[in-house]
């Protein structure tokens, strides 16, 4: 971790105020390619290096959970050649990174409607997940064929089934119980959600879980997003006052009482 902690930018990062869960909407690959008169595939290929750098930086900073929005449910509507290319890039990434993931104690997980993925990709995800399952330093979530609304609907269906079968008492349903039916069960909700390319929308990403996430939008396109950009986002996150519905005065009073 000396590489990151030795930089001036990281010295400004408070290790006590890091997000427990960082979520990223990786946007702008197509525009990056268009600006350079390159095919869209070139933008996706360039974006893989940003994935590597963000994963490494989060591991070095000891951020426990990183979720990357890699492929949405709506992305299936893209041209077939582009979908095939994206699936190919995903497969190559998993094969090339598994050794580094294992070495750094990173457990890979995938969330979304995974049964829609090509069988070879499903098999590779299962194999990579199994081989990295002992990782305890960080969880890397890949959101694939993902929709936040579909996730909530699926959770509701499963919860109704358990109620009907007598496994859950309706009067005992609360937010912690409901969260156990989501793809992200067992993980903290995102503290910081980053979106690249300057768009101000969630795009159906972690819709339920992001209720109190701090949102950071940068005009930087995903293939250009690097360590310095991630550190800038975390730095702004640490300068924000997270109120969770309270007033600023109440937050200060809580801090005073906790410091006594």
Structure confidence by residue, pLDDT tens digits, 89-108: 999 999 999 999 999 999 99
- At residue 12, the pLDDT reads 81
What DSSP character marks residue 218? -
Confidence of residue 252 (pLDDT cuts 50, 70, 90): low
Q: What percent of the chain stands above pLDDT 70?
A: 89
- φ, ψ of residue 47 in degrees (nearest 5): -65, -20
- Active centre residues (catalytic): 27, 75
Mean pLDDT of the chain: 92
Tokens 């919860």 locate to 159
Q: What is the Cα–Cα distance from 223 to 249, expressed in whole angstroms? A: 41
Q: State yes or no: pLDDT of 10 exceeds 90.
A: no
Cα torsion at 43, 142, 82, 117 (round to 10°)? 170
Other Cβ atoms less than 10 A from the Cβ of 88: the count is 15
User: Tens of pLDDT along 12-60?
Assistant: 899 999 999 999 999 999 999 999 999 999 999 999 999 999 999 999 9
Instruction: Specify whether the backbone of 22 is left (phi greater than 0), alpha (psi in -120 to 50) or beta.
Output: beta
3-class DSSP state of 106: strand
Q: Are 190 and 22 in contact (CB under 8 A)?
A: yes
Confidence of residue 133 (pLDDT cuts 50, 70, 90): very high
Confidence of residue 241 (pLDDT cuts 50, 70, 90): confident
Q: What percent of the chain stands above pLDDT 90?
A: 88
Rg (CA), the chain: 19
Report the candidate in 97, 152, 151, 153 with the shortest Cα–Cα distance to residue 125: 97
The larger pLDDT score, comparing residue 241 to residue 68, is at: 68
Task: For the chain, list the domains and their CATH numbers.
Answer: 2-258 (3.40.1180.10)
Q: How many CA atoms lie within 13 A of 154 on its CB side?
A: 14
Tokens of 98: 């598994």
pTM over 0.95: no
Q: State yes or no: pLDDT of 176 exceeds 60.
A: yes
């Amino acid at each position: 971790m000396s590489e990151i902690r030795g930089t001036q930018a990281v010295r400004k990062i408070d290790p006590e105020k890091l997000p427990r869960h960082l979520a990223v909407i990786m946007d702008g690959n197509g525009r990056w390619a268009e600006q350079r008169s390159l095919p869209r595939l070139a933008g996706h290929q360039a974006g893989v290096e940003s994935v590597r750098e963000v994963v490494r930086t989060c591991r070095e900073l000891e951020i426990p959970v990183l979720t990357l929005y890699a492929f949405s449910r709506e992305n299936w509507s893209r041209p077939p050649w582009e979908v095939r290319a994206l699936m190919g890039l995903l497969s190559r990434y998993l094969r090339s990174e598994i050794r580094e993931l294992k070495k750094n104690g990173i457990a890979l997980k995938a969330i979304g409607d995974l049964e829609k993925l090509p069988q070879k990709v499903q098999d590779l995800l299962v194999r990579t997940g199994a081989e990295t399952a002992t990782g305890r330093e960080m969880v890397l979530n890949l959101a694939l064929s993902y929709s936040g609304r579909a996730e909530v609907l699926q959770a509701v269906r499963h919860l109704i089934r358990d109620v009907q079968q007598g496994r859950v008492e309706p009067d005992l349903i609360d937010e912690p119980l409901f969260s156990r039916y989501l793809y992200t069960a067992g993980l903290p909700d995102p503290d910081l959600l980053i979106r690249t390319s300057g768009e101000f929308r969630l795009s159906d990403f972690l819709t339920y879980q992001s209720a109190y996430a701090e949102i950071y939008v940068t005009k930087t396109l995903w293939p250009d997003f690097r360590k310095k950009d991630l550190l800038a986002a975390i730095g702004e996150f640490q300068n924000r006052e997270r109120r969770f519905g309270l007033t600023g005065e109440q937050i200060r009073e809580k801090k005073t009482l906790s410091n006594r």
